[in-house]
Amino acid sequence: MKIVILDGYTANPGDLSWKALEEVGEVTIYERTSPQDVIARAKDADIVLTNKVCFGKEELAQLPHLKYIGVTGTGYNVIDVNAAHERGIIVTNVPAYSTDSVAQMVFAHLLTVTNRVEHYSIQNRNGKWSNCADFSYSDTPLTEIAGKTIGILGLGNIGQRVATIALAFGMKVLAMTSKPASSLMEGITKVEFEDLLTQSDILTLHCPLTPETHHIINADSLQMMKPSAILINTGRGPLIDEQAVANALNTNRLLAYCTDVMGNEPPSIKNPLLQCPNAYITPHIAWATREARIRLLDIVIDNVKAFVSGKPVNVV
């Protein structure tokens, strides 16, 4: 059984091990693979593991030995699943491995805006506190999040964990979800999209990217939000219209935009959000804690072993 890992670096930059896969077959690992190299590297593979390397109908047609594609992440939009199914290729993903890490990043971003810890650390290194006439130094607004209203768009695993943390902070929690209101945990109020926009002090996005949710945050929806609102996106970059968000920040129609994802990754240096002082951008790392990556590799390897045993799991 020949196993090829096409872009192993992001999940495992060298601090973890793929060794358990060697129990299953002959393993070849590439840190990164460009589109023009996909066929040459995967042509003899029975099993391919990929995170962001794409497999469309054309690529799949050129890989007659391929029996299984394991996506080393939750989203599997890089695979033409219908074409894979037509060729009898099993496709699996890794659900829910990064729930705690992504929820943690939501609040890391939120607290960055409300408490500005990094800002004050830099100010102190520059002597601002040492040269202050008072015992306490501040040059930004500081905000308590207890009592604030957080709106959660999408209440899957991550959205629910965010809600749990928000309730522990003493926040009021609103959610737009397909789940019935009777099934929601105590403390969450189900609302429609307009109410979510107008009532939220903080709006955090956790819905899947679909044709219906593409640019769900746009000029019109931003106009409905409070100018003092904080928008957080750890879901998918195209959930928001980046130019519209940049315009809202630059005209004080939005207090802050916090994101771990962009429409194109890596983003163009000309992306309008990169020039906005109140845009707080991390480089798609919410999922990438060591703990989450350990879970990811464990599940990826278990997925492969289940497939080889004839009982595939996490099939999409």
Task: Show which residues are catalytic.
Answer: 236, 265, 284
Cα–Cα distance between 238 and 181 in angstroms, integer? 28
Please count the other Cβ atoms lying within 10 Å of the Cβ belonging to residue 289.
16
Give the residue carrying structure tokens 């894979």.
Answer: 84
Residue 112 exposed, middle or buried by CB count within 10 Å (0-12, 13-18, 19+):
middle
Three-state secondary structure along the chain? CEEEECCCCCCCCCCCCCHHHHHCCEEEECCCCCHHHHHHHHCCCCEEEECCCCECHHHHHCCCCCCEEEECCCCCCCECHHHHHHCCCEEECCCCCCHHHHHHHHHHHHHHHHHCHHHHHHHHHCCCCCCCCCCCCCCCCCCCCCCCEEEEECCCHHHHHHHHHHHHCCCEEEEECCCCHHHCCCCEEECCHHHHHHHCCEEEECCCCCCCCCCCECHHHHHHCCCCCEEEECCCHHHECHHHHHHHHHCCCCCEEEECCCCCCCCCCCCHHHHCCCEEECCCCCCCCHHHHHHHHHHHHHHHHHHHCCCCCCEC
The residue count of the chain comes to 316
